[in-house]
Amino acid sequence: MRCLEETVDDVDATFQELYVYPERARAAEESGDDEEDVHELEGDLIDIEPALRDAVVTALPFQPLCQPDCPGLCSECGARLADDPGHHHDVVDPRWSALKSMLGTDVVPDETKES
């Protein structure tokens, strides 16, 4: 989540679904007994993918981390901070950027310095 590295985590999720034969589902519809959690069999097969997906997605961590103390990425350049812990940028206050552009250099000339 923070550093965009691949994470591997074990997920333990349980689910319970009810599957019925199509004849039984039609009989339940005709009698007005409409259960939303009842799914029909497809021949002799059941499709558990939607139920499994719903159970697993809700069990996944909201913000997975590659390690508990992951520093993430640099907000300026996107560098991975775990690879370079001393990474930093000299950020210029945007209010002074107009003065810096007038000088044309990063260093103030000697004649403008106060004695």
Look up the domain containing 31 and give its range: 18-112
Domains: count for the chain: 1
33-89 confidence digits (pLDDT tens): 555 667 788 888 888 898 899 999 999 888 888 888 888 888 888 888 888 888 888
Is 25 inside a domain boundary? Answer: yes
Is 6 inside a domain boundary? Answer: no
Determine phi and psi for 108, rounding to 5 degrees: -80, 130
60 token code pair: 């996944």
> Cα angle vertex 42, ends 14, 29, to 5°?
85
Instruction: Write down the pTM of the prediction.
Output: 0.48
